[in-house]
Structure 1
Amino acid sequence: MAENSSYLQPSIPRFDGYYEHWAMLMENLLRSKEYWSLIETGVVVAPANPTAEQTRLANESKLCDLKVKNYLFQSIDRSILETILERGTARDIWEAMRRKYQGSTKVKRAQLQALRREFEVLTMGESESVTEYFARTLAIANKMTSHGEQMDQTRVVEKILRSMPSRFNYVVCSIEESNDVTTLSIDELQSSLLVQEARMKSQKEHSEEQALKVSDAGRGTVRGNGRGRGRNTSRGRGRGRQQNKDLVQCFKCHKFGHYQSECPEWDNANFCEIEEEGETLLMAGVNSFDNNSREEMWYLDSGCSNHMTGKKEWMHNFDGSFTESVKLGNDSKMAIMGRGNVKLSIAGKVHVITDVYYIPGLSSNLLSVGQLQQKNLTIVFKHDVCQVIHNEKGLILTTQISSNRMYMIYAPVILPNHMQMSKTDEYYLWHNRYAHLSIKGLKVLHKRQMVKGLPDLKDIEDKCVDCLSGKQHRDSIPKKTVWRASTKLELVHTDICGPIKPESNGGNRCSDEKNPRVKPFIFSNQKLKNLGLELTPVKQCLYETVRSLQEKGHLPIPQMKEDFV
């Protein structure tokens, strides 16, 4: 019987790697051709002694199996067919494809677990549309169904409702209150959400259009042609001709509503950059404020790559060897004359800001947001509030946005205890550290490298007062007097002993050689050695050191032990 030429054969679905989709299409095709029984039960085999009817049925089954194999051969690519070993019947090819892409029961269970986890953590993105999210959710649900999971519409509807973003909260509440979720279908839910999404989109576009409009209320910001007088900046005869600036784009900030000369960014910020061999290292916005009233005010700057200040007296551990140049927006340059640490008192706690650049003449103090984040700090800008959070210490500070859209932090600065010491202070430091050792002794220690960190000190004119008082000695007796008596009784010689301690019975501390209570004893050098009273050079040095320390500490002599004498 001739076939009708207008009849179109159904196209055979090609296998593209997605087995579930391909198996669904092929199953539908084979069922429409009444060949699906060959996949379920296989080819009918005739018995050992078949009858004519059994032989006919077996031959018809083989013929139908060849037709099914023809469909499968056209659907599966050659490279995949070459990996299938058993191709005797259509059932063998089908089972080989199922085992290859679905695996065994254990593998299907593992894949189902992965799909369940993906389904549970599924949420709608902020920029994702309702249609895209429904397609993604239903695709996962269909995969779970093909792996044996029972997926009803109620489960999918509840999952979609609880995974919508925050902008759909009121829509979800209204749907749950007005409908029965157990009877609500997926298509009804999608249609309701699509209507609300279209309404939100139209409102957003309307608000954006309103934001681009610029209201021109006044006469001082328009332009005209020619020349004239008036309090405005328009040019032209008389008051000038006003122009619509809604479509005017600024060449500086690329925003609509004003010209480049009227851009507010000219007054808000002066951009500067640090240059090193022609490369840009830093971009920072520095606002000009009253320096006298806001000396301890710091500004959080996201465009500044490093902390900067103009106060050298705030620096701890100052490194003056670090120098760079700063190029401002007007091509002028400023010099970085060092870097150090600054201690700030925030909420009663002291925080150390490390690696702060010192720029003389800088009127504002800048805190780099990027440098703070490198110190394991989390900076959150939300609802006109900035919060700086430490991973271990928690919230460090909170500040609100100012009227000029800047985040300012007032933090008192803890000044260092001492400034950079001079050469004189450095000499006295080492002199006192080594118990008033002379400059000659300090030079010996430095020359022989006996002390780590001891610099090469130079002698100074101002001597140590304590050493002059503690190490002084009596002048030697002159060999010849410079003055002689010219008349009798002009010179009276007395030899007074004292003052001595303890006092005498009469309360005197001085006595002369004619006093009968005083008995002089003369010791030879040998007897002094036997008594241990001779002062060696080492003991003499130690004795002078003790006296210098006594003078330095204003200590009475009895409180010092002189056992070494």
Structure 2
Amino acid sequence: MKVLMEAHMVWEAIEPKDPKVAPDVKTDKRALAMIYQGIPDDILLAVAEKKTSKEAWESLKIMCQGADKVKKAKAQTLRMEFESLKMKDTEKLDDFCMRLNGLVTNIRALGEAIEENYVVKKLLRAVPTKFLQIASAIEQFGNLDSMSVEEVIGSLRAHEERLKEPTESGEEQQLLLTADEWQKKEIKEGQLLFTREEWLKRSGKGNSSDGGDYRRRENRVARDRSQVKCFSCGGYGHYAAECRKSG
């Protein structure tokens, strides 16, 4: 409203260059008319009885002081929320950046200054552990004072995509199998990868209290090979390691 009145050369009615000289009536009425045009109806009723544009302007300033206090309180609340903002481990980077930018936009809309480099530093502090490597690299080798939020988000997004790439080969995945899974895998493939004594040692049955009974049962089975099934050819009477058909 002040800029509009300055453009129409009527601002001197409110702040005259010489306080001792009263503005002419025409200029004052034009300024008052612009004030009336620039405020909503509910506020217009409160200043309609003012005789001069200066009186109307001073009345508006008093009424807006309460609004300024509300804006400052809300900006303070948003800034506290901004300071405590943290990205969750399961949260996507784009979703977190939307929350961050939303807070920054609202804070700035309320008249609070928040520098770009301050937002950049906050973003690097708020990311979870999986971004720690790239965040440390940006802090050490990047110029945070001249870097934009969009540049940092781009670097973090590239790192996030790299994390999605498979890094384990089939052999590495096999190393993650449990002992039971290994045993099932060996039986399914019909392979005897270690001897009975090694299997007893790995399974812990060789040191158990019933180890003697278990070995006696094994000896009876070993003497009576008619019940022994070969996992290589499917026949009975021998083990897979002894199978002649498998070569």
TM range (shorter): 0.3 to 0.5
Computing the radius of gyration from Cα coordinates, the structure with the larger value is 1
In proportion to residue count, which structure has more strand? 1
- TM-score, scaled to structure 2: 0.47
Question: Which gives a bigger RCO, structure 1 or 2 (Cα 8 Å, sep 6+)?
Answer: 2
- TM-score, scaled to structure 1: 0.24
